[in-house]
Structure 1
Amino acid sequence: MRGEYCVGGASFLSFVALLLLIFVHVGQINTSVVPHGIAMAKVNTSGFGQALNASFGDPIQGLYTDNYTSPLGERNGLRQLYEFGLYSYCAFVNSSAGTCTNHTIADSFEPYIAMTSDMFQNYTQYSDAMFVNTTLMNSSYLGYNARVAYYFILLGTIFATIALFTGVARRALLFFISTASSITAALFILIGAAIWTSIVKKCEAVNTLQLHVSNGTVLSGIVVSYGNGIYLAWAAFACLAASTVPYMVSCCTFRG
């Protein structure tokens, strides 16, 4: 295989990986079309009111809000959907109307705190009893691991950028740097994506959590799911892993 083809193939894979990682980073920074469509994790709370009603037998009033512009975390009412990114989270009263928190480097993934900080205090007390000993409620565990995963993804993005820009010049040393950077980036993205996959998977246990009511049991009404940001991270890892082969070939055999 000609060296130009190896370099071109590796550069293309690195470019695709970097583009995917950029999309991962912009998820949930605001409610415009692209950021709104990308999240690391989603929490649907639309059935929670019915579960509370069935559990306590009393009408549930004031749990949700229809005012999507009201600030988050000030007990203004629960939203129907919460979506979490790397720098902030957004909450929506329907499929498109929502608002986001301020941007924070290595933002913590704390879905239970996000939900309960929007509820009235009495509903929060009920929720604490319902979700005790669940991973969803273990905010310190989720927050810490999400922050660790963020730094791995950030470092992976930086090394992917280095691999892309050093792999275009016809120098053996630069090809070596691009190879090493691509391998390092793939490893870091692998770790970050695996951590996010693990913590969301553990939170999904709440999807089948059953609450005891007078005539049997009902589901909790909280549904946790993977966001497509996790799939983009895994795709970026695959591209970076694939790019290491042509980079390595170029490093060892390229002659111009």
Structure 2
Amino acid sequence: MRGEVCVGFASVLSFASMVMLIFVHVRGFSKSAERVLRDSLEADRTDKHVYGPAKALYVNASGYGDSLAVFIRPDNVTGLYTLNASAPLQERAGLRQHYEFGLYSYCAFVDVGERAGICSNKTIGTQFRPYDALTGDMALNYSILTNNFLPALTFSDGKYTGSLTKAAYWMLLLGTVCAALALLTGIAKNNLTFFVSAIFSIVGSILLLIGASIWTIVINKSASINDLLIFIRQTGTQSPVGISVSMGTAMYLTWAAFACLFASVFPYLIRVVKTQKLPSQEQDHNQRKRDGPILPTQSLLLRSI
């Protein structure tokens, strides 16, 4: 593989990784609460989907009301959900149907189509605390019932999920910086810069791997609530919780960015090895030019030796 091809291929991989990571970060930082609500109202007229932050994961709470109704039977569940898309978050104004969590904020939607909703304020290094987000929207009586209804789970352990995802955020941010530096330093045609690009790619890959792994572990552990069955004493039966967790597009993009950045390490290293061989080859060529052409008698003498 020629050196120019190696550098070009590595640059393309680094660029692809950086673009995906920028989308994960910038997409999650671009929507304000007012913007999402305004776009939601426009979407009702134009039938266009409204996107919140780049989602690390989804939480579907649309079935929780039915499960809670079974738990408190014969009483009825009234006022658990809100239909007001502009209702503030964490003010016990009512539970939403869907929640989408990103690296900087989360959004809550009152409709199944996820067009009418509102987002929280942007916070650098925001913590993933889904249980706090849901119970903070519920009326106080339903929040107390939920504490008795749900057992101890990773989903409800905000301290555990929050501390891990905050650390993962900084890993992803530093990995993004390394991806950008790997791309920039690889532009210059210099053996030292190629080596530095390889180092940035290696360090960035490690950081992205750590950050993506932490988020994936938290999501998978939180998703244990999907198959959880609660024993109902009144009926002697088991009932699902009605809350489900699934991985979002931001995590798939992060893993793809890691793969691209890790793959860019090898072309950079190949280019470094090639540039190290060139000086010795050029030196041998110059030495042969100084010695002059080999005469036939010299050739016969060399063969006899």
Other-structure match for 2:284:
none
1:65, 1:19 → 2: CA distance?
A: 37
176, 192, 201: which one aligns with 1:173: 192
TM-score with structure 1 length normalisation?
Answer: 0.96
Partner of 1:92: 109
CA contact (8 A) 2:53 2:107 kept: no
Residues 85/159 of structure 1: CA separation in 2 closer, same or farther (3 Å cut): same
**C-alpha distance in structure 2 between counterparts of 1:114 and 1:190, whole Å:** 27
- DSSP 3-state at the match of 1:137: coil
Aligned residue identity for 1:238:
A
Task: For residue 225 of structure 2, give the secondary structure of its aligned residue in structure 1.
Answer: helix
Q: Is the 8 A contact 1:28 1:90 kept in 2?
A: no
Is 1:224 paired with 2:236? Answer: no
Quick one: which of 52, 60, 73 aligns to 2:68?
52
| Secondary structure of 1:90 counterpart | strand
Q: Alignment partner for residue 248 of structure 1, among 269, 279, 287? A: 269
Shift in Å, 1:236? 0.5
Among candidates 199, 206, 211, match of residue 230 of structure 2: 211
Deviation track 1:5-64 (CA, whole Å, cap 9, x = no partner) reads 111100000010001111211344424668527311111000000001111112111100
Amino acid at match of 2:97: Q
Deviation at 1:65, TM superposition (A): 0.6
Please show how residues 99-118 of structure 1 align to structure 2 within 5 Å.
99-118=118-137
Task: For structure 2, list consecutive stretches of 5 or more residues without a partner in the other structure.
Answer: 40-48, 279-305
TM-score, reference length from structure 2: 0.81
Task: Tell me what 1:126 maps to.
Answer: 145
In structure 1, distance between residues paired with 2:132 and 2:269: 46
4+ residue segments displaced more than 4 Å: 32-35
Task: Note the C-alpha offset of 1:212.
Answer: 2.1
Q: What displacement does 1:249 show?
A: 1.0
Pairing of 1:2-13 with structure 2 (within 5 A) = 2-13=2-13
Query: Which whole-Å CA distance do the structure 2 matches of 1:7 and 1:64 have between them?
Result: 55
Partner of 1:161: 180
Could you tell me which runs of 5 or more consecutive residues in structure 1 were left unpaired when the two chains were aligned: none
1:149 is the counterpart of 2:165: no
Shift of 1:210: 1.2
- Bigger radius of gyration: 2
Residues 70, 28 of structure 1: alpha-carbon distance in 2 compared, 3 angstrom cutoff: farther
Q: Distance in 1 between matches of 2:149 and 2:175?
A: 39
SS in 1 for 2:91: coil
Contact 1:28 1:100 in 2 (8 A): no
1:234 to 230, 241, 255: 255
Higher RCO (Cα < 8 Å, 6 or more apart): 1
In the alignment, the residues of structure 2 paired with residue 117 and residue 129 of structure 1 have an alpha-carbon distance, to the nearest angstrom, of 15
CA separation of 1:34 and 1:21: change in aligned 2, threshold 3 A: farther
User: Which residue number in structure 2 is paired with residue 20 of structure 1?
Assistant: 20
Report SS of the residue matched to 2:137. Answer: coil
Provide the alpha-carbon RMSD of the alignment: 1.4
Identical pairs, percent: 45
Report if aligned partners of 1:27, 1:34 keep a CA contact under 8 Å in 2: no
